[in-house]
Structure 1
Amino acid sequence: MTIFTSPEPLVWGELDVPLFGLGADMAGVALQPPVAFSLVSDGRYLWFLANHRKPANVHPKARPGLFQSELWKYDVAELFLADPASGRYFEFNLAPNGAWWTCEFTAPRVRADEVDIAMPEVATFSDMSPDGSWLAAMAIPLDLLKARLDFGPATRLNVSMILGSPEQRFVSATDLGPGEPDFHQPRKFSEVRFSPLPENP
């Protein structure tokens, strides 16, 4: 999975990055319209962007920019980053309105800490249009990812989404196999490919 690299710091409100579309859920049913995401490293932050041109059902306690648990019970975009050497991985949840949550795991579904701990210096942003379409972004400090996960070329990752709550549909950028949806499969995550951000023509 591609992480674009930008020589300049990204700025919310001035983002112009390619988005990858996902046209079907994990059951193979088409998404109308598709969802989209992008990952960009600008030297200081790893930016995770998610977009859907359809109204979302957001956690009722979710507030823009604030840490909130159990976002996965409603519509949410999720980023998983794993260190294959140690088996540790992070899950980042990003609600359409910019609320967020994160957790570190030492093995599949085994939390590093019993209590929720907000990673410092994470910033989130969102734009929700009157028609219900939304674009949300999360900026995660690279120094923390490097310290906790040895973030780099060996990192494995996946992007997933939960849509249509309460009748949830599950979306994954990586093929996680058949059966009940289970995003916590770090061994199946994609290898990272770093690629320069395309220049505007």
Structure 2
Amino acid sequence: MNIEISDKPLSWGALDLSLFGVGKDWYGKPVKPPVAFGFAVDLKYLWFVVSHQKAPTLHPEARPGDFKTELWKYDVAEFFLTDPTNGRYLEFNLSPNGAWWTAEFTAPRIRAEIADKPFPEVATFADMGQDGSWLAAAALPLEQLRDRLNFGPESQLNATFILNSPEQQFLSAADLGAGEPNFHLPDKFPKVNFFHNPQK
């Protein structure tokens, strides 16, 4: 999974990142328009950026910047990041309006803690257009990711999406196989690939 390296601090409102599109859902059905996403690291943060040119269905209790459970019942962007040393992984949910949720797992679908506990020092941002299009981003501190999940070149990472609620379509940037949609397959997540954009 590509992660763009920025030698300068990134900031909301001035993001200029490489975005990648996902145009088919779990079953291979086209998603129109495609959803676009990107990951980047600067000196302090891992950034997750998502854009979609279609109005979302938001969790009715989701508020910009707030920690909110069960975002996955509505339109949401997600990423899953593994710890390369022990199989532990983080699930991060980002609502189109900037609400967010996290949980850490010790094995597929086995929560590290039953109680909801926000990942520390997360910042989220969102811009929703009058035409329904949206752009959202989250910044997670690298120091915390390294301490809690040994984040580095051996990490595995995947981006996933739930769109078009209530007739939900499930999308995964990586091929996770067949069967019913299941994003909790850390063994199938691709290894991270840090890169510099030569055009910048």
- Whether TM-score is above 0.5 comes out as yes
User: What is aligned with 2:6?
Assistant: 6
Alignment of 1:18-57 (within 5 A): 18-57=18-57
Alignment of 1:84-95 (within 5 A): 84-95=84-95
1:153 aligned to 2:161? Answer: no
SS in 2 for 1:144: helix
Superposed CA RMSD:
0.8
> Quick check: 2:122–2:138 contact (8 Å CA) kept in 1?
yes
> Quick check: 2:85–2:150 contact (8 Å CA) kept in 1?
no
> Quick check: 1:2–1:193 contact (8 Å CA) kept in 2?
yes
How many residues in Structure 1 have an aligned counterpart in Structure 2? Answer: 200
1:67 aligned to 2:67? Answer: yes
User: What is aligned with 1:81?
Assistant: 81
SS in 2 for 1:190: coil
Letter in 1 for 2:199: E
Letter in 2 for 1:136: A
> Quick check: 1:84–1:187 contact (8 Å CA) kept in 2?
no
TM-score under structure 1 length normalisation: 0.98
SS in 2 for 1:191: coil
Q: Which runs of 5+ in 1 are unaligned?
A: none
Report percent identity of matched pairs: 60
> Quick check: 2:5–2:41 contact (8 Å CA) kept in 1?
yes
User: Structure 2: how far apart are the matches of 1:91 and 1:198?
Assistant: 31
> Quick check: 1:74–1:163 contact (8 Å CA) kept in 2?
yes
SS in 2 for 1:12: coil
SS in 2 for 1:140: strand
Q: CA deviation at 1:120?
A: 1.8
SS in 2 for 1:72: helix
User: Any runs of at least 4 consecutive aligned residues in structure 1 with deviations exceeding 2 A, and if so which?
Assistant: 197-200
TM-score under structure 2 length normalisation: 0.98
User: What is aligned with 1:191?
Assistant: 191
